Amino acid sequence: MSTFLWGILPYLCIASLVGGTVWRYRYDKFGWTTRSSQLYESRLLRIGSPLFHFGILLVFVGHVGGLVIPESWTEAVGVSEGLYHVNALLFGGLAGVCTLAGILILVYRRRTTGPVFMATTKNDKLMYVLLVGAIVLGLWTTLVSVGAGSEAHNYRETVSPWFRSVLLLSPDVTAMAAAPVQFHVHAIVGMLLFALWPFTRLVHAFTAPLHYLFRPYIVYRSRDGRTSGNRSSRPGWSGVGTSDRDRRH
Amino acid sequence: MRVMAQMGMVMNLDKCIGCHTCSVTCKQAWTNRAGTEYVWFNNVETRPGQGYPRRYEDQETWKGGWTLTHRGSLKLKAGGRVQKLLGIFASPVQPKLADYYEPWTYDYQTLIEAPLGDDFPVARPKSLITGENTKITWSANWDDNLGGASEMGHLDPIVAKLNASVRRESEEKVRFELEKTFMFYLPRICEHCLNPSCMASCPSGAIYKREEDGIVLVDQDRCRGWRQCITGCPYKKIYFNHKSGKAEKCTFCYPRVEVGLPTVCSETCVGRLRYLGLFLYDADRVTAAAATPDEGDLYEAQLDLLLDPSDPEVVAAARRDGIPDDWMDAARRSPVYALAKTYRVALPLHPEYRTMPMVWYVPPLSPIVDVLSSQGHDAEDRTVLFGAIEALRIPVDYLAELFTAGRTDIVTGVLQKLAAMRAYMRDVSLGRDGDPAIPAAVGMSEESLYEMYRLMAIAKYADRYVIPTAHVERAHELEEIGCSLDFDEGPGMYESGPFGEASGRPAPVAVETFNALKQRQTSDTAMATTESGSLTGRVNLLNWDGNGAPPGLFPGRSDGDAP
């Protein structure tokens, strides 16, 4: 069971995430959007959406810090386990609470605003279950850790090595199996969320428009396509020639 | 100098009768889909009026367009790049559906299926957003013909500005009583700006300007629905498709323009008030022109960007920059260039937004003519008209806020030219000698005034629309080359495929009707008497205008068969 959960499932999820994203980007660019519902309702959105998004960005940074950076590195720069842990719980907990509050506002808005609810698909609902589940379970691990005080489980000796070993293609199943159950559940729901990611509206996160900071304001593009009008060439009528002939000018 | 070509439009507002045909045909062609119910790529506003969406011109609220920084460089009014990205999760200023209107349909089924009863069944309005019963409270032209202006007229941002200005305090305010007011129609499409702020606002870079003809389009595969363009466009001519989650906008009917056809709004315009043609402009100077310090100088700066296609220097530069010769020829014959730059009677809409809009307007003289006529004056007399343009301050002030960032002298000059044309041509059409003092008074020659009259009043189809076709190695012409088997009794004589009527390759409908239409509109006789005997022996009834019986309308009489 452990082998499947921590040795096979991660790779299935990664395959789904990468393969699904490539497939979606190739075949459904038109569907690749935030599907914003701000036109329908903006009063609650204006509170909930930034709260959730900024929160989840902080959570993401926290996860990268906790999972990718080995404990030995932080200790090498003089951050003790205790100090790191307090910080992680404090800021992680704060970001998590913001994220949860944000998404609860958004889900409440989605359920109670008629047009927004009507624009909600089954796909969205499944995604929300997994997303809220992952956030709640993540906060649960934090709560358990806070409750345990100094006795708290040090996930940087179990979960983090496993995570890195998965990325290095030699999964350290025993390390992860040694972690407490709350980490197990959180990780499984998280993996499922990532597996589902490319097939939901969450893909918009992959096209976060950071290049906006650097691109020129005015964009010129040459008229694409070689046919005029709105008619594409019909099957059986493609022109004779080689690929270099297709280059215009 | 970097020469670029731009498809532009001029609308002669004096001719607009506010029939909304352009809006309806545009909607049928482009936005009759779920998610775009409230979207009007083309809308016609009554001014004074709030416009669509409501009060879109109030940029202190909506933050559209550009503004200048302290150092005099251009900046998006809604904020810099970092600020825009930080606001991406909930766009800080975006019109809500209520600022447009909640689209609706009617429950027509009840009319048919209601059981027999004492009361007439009614079709109740149903919201197209929620599907529930709804109350219709606003629409895209709710204040049409000044409807409700006595109560809501002051909500027009320009009226508010005029009424609030210091100068106005000692004078009269804009009035909405029937006998004291004025009105005209303002059809609006996307401005296809040279310096578009929607494009600059787009985080994804999905909005682009086509190098060949300057048409501004949204790449539907790149748009991610970040909604910043809707804030960015000061004309609010980018709409959010709430079904697909993507931005959509007026396309300048590029599939039609590419094959030389006018846009749908132009083609169907009842008043024939729209002109289509090319501008050549210097792309290197656009940003500098848009950053002109004084708003009042923006009109002149924009005019300076337009290059004279007859200037040898421009011709050489255009050739270097890859503009084809037939496009240069079209640019020389361009009606929009003539109206905007040669005659200087077309003005850009809200140049103070600094986007360098490329849909221009000939301001209406009708508000002034109407007043004169209603007071029993001779509204075609030059001195009366000129005097009225000076005296009727409110319409002129209003037009100046709309078209010249408040410069009344420019608007007055244009109106005087229109008045001069009116006065001069009355003499000519009544068989009297034209008075050369009239064109001289507005700094024009008799010849140029007459040419302007031809373009504006006669406005032949071929003069209104000078649209060079897109260069795709002449691919589209192939569609019109006849089949070599199309001769009489030949296998191709019926222009249909091997499996009977309408099978095989379809005839390109737009091109077919365009040619038929062109023939009808440019010939002086009915189609029946032209040399149409050389046609294929079939008559397209859709093109038949009901006059006479063109050959081929009836099958030939076969001899000796009669009973």
Of B89, B245, B470, the CB nearest to A49: B89
Residue B14 Cα to chain centre, angstroms:
14
In this prediction, residue B234 carries a pLDDT of: 97
CA nearest to B469 within chain A? A228
pLDDT digits (tens, 9 = 90+) for B10-62: 999 999 999 999 999 999 999 999 999 999 999 999 999 999 999 999 999 99
In this prediction, residue B555 carries a pLDDT of: 72
Residues of A in contact with B85 (CB under 8 A): 209-210, 212-213
In this prediction, residue B170 carries a pLDDT of: 53
- Using CA atoms, how far residue B4 sits from A47, A215, A231, in Å, is 45, 21, 26
**pLDDT of residue B306 exceeding 90:** yes
Residue A227: which of B266, B222, B254 has the closest Cα? B254
ipTM over 0.90: no
> How far is Cα B405 from Cα B403, in angstroms, rounded to an integer?
6
How large is the average pLDDT for residues B191-196?
96
Residues in contact with B191: Cβ distance below 8 Å, sequence separation at least 6, in sequence order: B235, B237, B348, B349, B355, B357, B358, B359
Provide the β-strand partners of residue B207.
B218
**pLDDT of residue B479 exceeding 50:** no
| Cβ contacts of A8-15, under 8 Å, gap ≥ 24 | A9/A188, A9/A191, A10/A166, A10/A171, A10/A191, A11/A166, A12/A195, A13/A191, A13/A192, A13/A194, A13/A195, A14/A166, A14/A194
B203–chain A nearest CA distance, Å: 5
Residue B185: which of B141, B249, B138, B236 has the closest Cα? B141
* CB atoms A220 and B132 under 8 Å: no
**pLDDT of residue B303 exceeding 70:** yes
**pLDDT of residue B206 exceeding 90:** yes
CA nearest to A49 within chain B? B89
Cis ω for the linkage preceding B203 (within 30 of 0): no
Structure tokens at A3: 């082998």
How large is the average pLDDT for residues B238-255?
94
pLDDT digits (tens, 9 = 90+) for A101-147: 999 999 999 999 889 998 899 999 999 999 999 999 999 998 888 88
> How far is Cα A157 from Cα A150, in angstroms, rounded to an integer?
15
Helix (H/G/I), strand (E/B), else coil: B12: strand
Q: Tell how strand B3-12 and strand B359-362 pair up.
A: parallel
Structure tokens at B352: 């103070």
A80–chain B nearest CA distance, Å: 34
A243–chain B nearest CA distance, Å: 16
In this prediction, residue B496 carries a pLDDT of: 43
pTM of the model: 0.84
Task: Annotate B61-104 with DSSP letters as a single string.
Answer: HH--SEEE-TTS-EEETT--HHHHHHTTTS-SS---GGGS---E
pLDDT category, B487, cuts 50, 70, 90? very low
How large is the average pLDDT for residues B92-112?
93
> How far is Cα B323 from Cα B5, in angstroms, rounded to an integer?
8
In this prediction, residue B371 carries a pLDDT of: 85
* CB atoms A207 and B204 under 8 Å: yes
CA nearest to A43 within chain B? B90
